[in-house]
Amino acid sequence: MNRLKEIWRATWRILICAILLAWIFHTIFRNEAKDHLGAKWQSLSGSEQFHKAWTIGPHALWHELSQVHPAALAASLLCVGVVVMLNVIRWRMILKVQGLDLSLGRATGISFVAQFFNSFLLGSSGGDLIKAYYAARETHHKKTEAVTTVFVDRLIGLWSMLLFAVLMSAVNLTIVLKYKRYWGLCLIILGMFAALTVVLGIAFWGGVSKRWPRARHYLRRLPKAEKLERSLDSCREFGKKPRLLFDTIGLSLVLNLFCVFQVLFLAKSLGIDATQPLFVVVPIVFCISALPVTPSGLGVRENLFVLLLVVLNVPQTAALSLSLLAFAGGLFWSMVGGVVYMGLKEKEHLGEVAHPQPVVENV
């Protein structure tokens, strides 16, 4: 039954991804073909228009993609690499709270492998689970706490990304208020930020049992209650260290800044003159596409980039190219993670980590 649920979950996500990608590609290819053929376009039948769109459109997209200067592409890839390494540093800081001192080399290796699994594989063997099971292998008596560090790392990362989006929207409020689609999405971001703030507050400082004294009683009646309670208690340790939270959130904000720089390098090379708006667009796109709707945010990210940039008179093909190139930067480092996985699979026992079922019994 669980296997069927996983297959169904992966199937509908892939289906939504395919629909969104087909929609945005066809819309842009159709516009390219229409502009290319001029008045002749109206005389074509529906099937002929479809054929011309998917004949002319891909060539126009490839031409746009080929305009990126190698130096800009290299700078963009470097920014993504910096983001990955900052994630590693943040995770190590969080691990140390639980008394787990994972070396920089081992943390980097497993983070690259997690990047690979997040980008190329679906189902239960996602990157976060890979990190969780690997962390659990590093200790015999704090397995639950080690797994919790991955949850905390993701929680802080998501909250910081939303905070960054809120700050950038506030700094560029004139741009946000000028376009209805901008402030509409910003309201969604604010809602996500408020909801995650509540989750973060409950996870780190609690308060539920104070208002509902029997909350712990009901928690202990749940399956694997002991591990759930230990997870909550380990989360409380982070709430007792405000300096750590301050440092990790500050590091995350710098990380998000490099995400914007990655796109800025590509945009400049594509001739997209929208430096200030991109400090609003990029955080919004990354926050919305982080929702578990499609694998790696594919389709969602492309549609959002086009939606938010066309109002700035950026050609649709250029906006789509920008999104695809930004995604390609992440894929590049994911492929590096694949190489690391193949090279360290036996040496670091990563092969066992990639098949989490046996480890669950020990966590």
Question: How far out from the chain centre does Cα 295 lie?
Answer: 10
- Give CA–CA dist 321/195, Å, rounded: 33
Cα dihedral 354, 346, 154, 94, rounded to 10, equals 140
What does pTM read for this prediction?
0.85
For residue 77, count other CB atoms closer than 10 A to its CB.
17
Mean pLDDT along residues 311-316: 94
Most confident of 39-48, 120-129, 203-212, 293-302: 39-48
- In this predicted structure, the answer to whether residue 63 has a pLDDT above a threshold of 60 is yes
Model confidence pLDDT, tens digit, residues 318-342: 999 999 999 999 999 989 988 888 8
- Give CA–CA dist 18/298, Å, rounded: 8
Packing angle of the helix pair 46-65, 316-344 (nearest 10 deg): 60
Question: How far out from the chain centre does Cα 127 lie?
Answer: 11
Question: What local confidence, expressed as pLDDT, does residue 41 receive?
Answer: 92
Mean pLDDT value across the chain: 85
Residues in Cβ contact with 119 at an 8 Å cutoff, skipping those fewer than 6 apart: 296, 330, 331, 334, 337
Model confidence pLDDT, tens digit, residues 239-292: 888 899 999 999 999 999 999 999 999 999 999 999 999 999 999 999 999 887
Question: What local confidence, expressed as pLDDT, does residue 47 receive?
Answer: 94
Question: What local confidence, expressed as pLDDT, does residue 249 receive?
Answer: 95
Which of 124-138, 272-286, 288-302, 342-356 shows the lowest mean pLDDT across its residues? 342-356
